Each structure stands twice: as C-alpha cells, then as structure tokens.
Amino acid sequence: NGGFVSGMIWYQGCSDAKAETIPLFRQSMIRFVSALRRDFHFPGMPFVQVQIARLIYTDSTSDENWTCIREIQRTLRNSIQNLLTVPAVDLELDDGIHISGKSQIILGRRLAEAAYTLAGGKDALPPPIELDSIRMKPLPKINEVQIIVSFRNVAGELTAAGRPAGFMFNNSQEDLSFRAELKGNSVILHCGFGAPVANLGYGCCANPYCNIHHSAGRSLPAFAWQPLYER
C-alpha cells in the first residue's frame, strides 16, 4: 500500500523440527531473511524471532528435534545481522504446543522490547539474554563441584520464583545439582563431587519447567547440550 515496513516479527520452527529438515533450517532462515530484506528494499530490516516454546512429550525423537531447532534459533544471530531471538520456553501453554492467551501478552511485550532495542530506542533495554560461558569448578575439600553458567544482557540480576529450575544434565531430564544459586548474571549449580556431569542444557527434554528471569521479566534462552570441562 505504499507504506514503509519497519521490521519483521517471526514465530515459526515447529514444522521444521524433523530429521530431514533440521539440517536445512539455518540456511533456509538465512535465505528467507535475505529475501525479505531484498523484497522490501531494506537491507538492514530489523528481524525479531521467537525461540519455539515447550513441547509436551510425544516421543524422544520429537523432543530432540525441538531442542535442535531452538539451538539453531538461539545462535542464528551469529549468521544474520540485526536479528534478535526472544525465548518462550518459560511460558504457560493452552495445549501440547501453543502458548496461552496470558502468555501471548508476555511474549508480545518481549517482542516489542526487542524490536525497540533493534530500532535504537532511546531508553531501550539490552538485547534478550544470551549464554556467555559455562565452566566447571571442582572443590574436593568440600566434596562439591560447581557449574558456573554466566549470561550476557542481564538487566539487574537473575531471579526465580521458588527454587531456580530448568537445567538438565547428560542429554536427559535428570538434574544432578542439589542447589541452584543465582548470583548477578550467573547461575551456580552445586553438585556432589564426582557426580557424572558430562554436559548441560537449559529447557531441553520434554515439558521442561523453566523459571529463571532477569529483573525486567525476560527468560533465559533455552540452549542445547553444552560439554562441561574443567576451566
């Protein structure tokens, strides 16, 4: 109609969570965003996408596939400029796949904030929270090993309603930590010394419960299994 398109909001990925399409998803998104920007004659058009939400258990293969799509979405910013990804893994559902009406309002605010950030808003928040680093710190004298997970773009500090939850170990739903401590922009997972911790994910597996946010109400992003090494 002759108007100017200021940006794009995109919520998709579930239909690509299949073994045959996952290997194509990153390049498909890169080509898609490039085509949109070309067609709208706007090379740097802001693009805000939603990281797909929870999946109620169907089978282990579906769950792994959804985790793969979320991970591609989480890291897509490394391949596409002027793109931000907004997590939804913490939101309530109305069925096995779709977020509730109340959650849509929360998600809408997160999307608006991310779009305002990309637009260079005067009082904009930082971009959505991103995983920064994971390190393992053995403390044999107190029979403990700590997994320290740090994040970027944390407004204020990390908080949780009740016991912080959402982390899982070893490609499974098991949580091997006996305590999760929130400290500024980091989560310290306290595990027993010698616990068989090989890798760590957040919001993986079937129907995860994730309740860690920062002071502005944004969720940690779901991330796929990251190897753990002593550092």
Position 96 confidence tier, pLDDT thresholds 50, 70, 90: confident
pLDDT tens digits for 183-221?
A: 999 999 999 988 889 999 999 988 899 999 999 999 999
Q: What is the mean pLDDT of the chain?
A: 93
* pLDDT computed for residue 230 by the predictor: 61
* pLDDT computed for residue 187 by the predictor: 98
Query: Are the CB atoms for 231 and 206 separated by under 8 Å?
Result: no
**pTM, rounded to two decimals:** 0.93
* pLDDT computed for residue 206 by the predictor: 81
Query: Are the CB atoms for 103 and 67 separated by under 8 Å?
Result: no
CA separation for the pair 192, 178 (Å, rounded): 8
CA separation for the pair 188, 184 (Å, rounded): 10
The least confident of 75-84, 95-104, 181-190 is 95-104
Q: What percent of the chain has pLDDT over 70?
A: 97
CA separation for the pair 164, 167 (Å, rounded): 9
Question: Angle, nearest 10°, between helix axes 60-75 and 22-39?
Answer: 40
Query: Are the CB atoms for 136 and 231 separated by under 8 Å?
Result: yes
Q: What is the mean pLDDT of residues 85-107?
A: 94
* pLDDT computed for residue 35 by the predictor: 97
CA separation for the pair 177, 180 (Å, rounded): 7
Q: Token pair 């939804």 is at which residue?
A: 88
Query: Are the CB atoms for 161 and 211 separated by under 8 Å?
Result: yes
Position 15 confidence tier, pLDDT thresholds 50, 70, 90: very high
Q: What is the mean pLDDT of residues 6-19?
A: 94
pLDDT tens digits for 134-192?
A: 999 999 989 999 999 999 999 999 999 999 999 999 988 888 999 999 999 999 999 99
Position 2 confidence tier, pLDDT thresholds 50, 70, 90: low
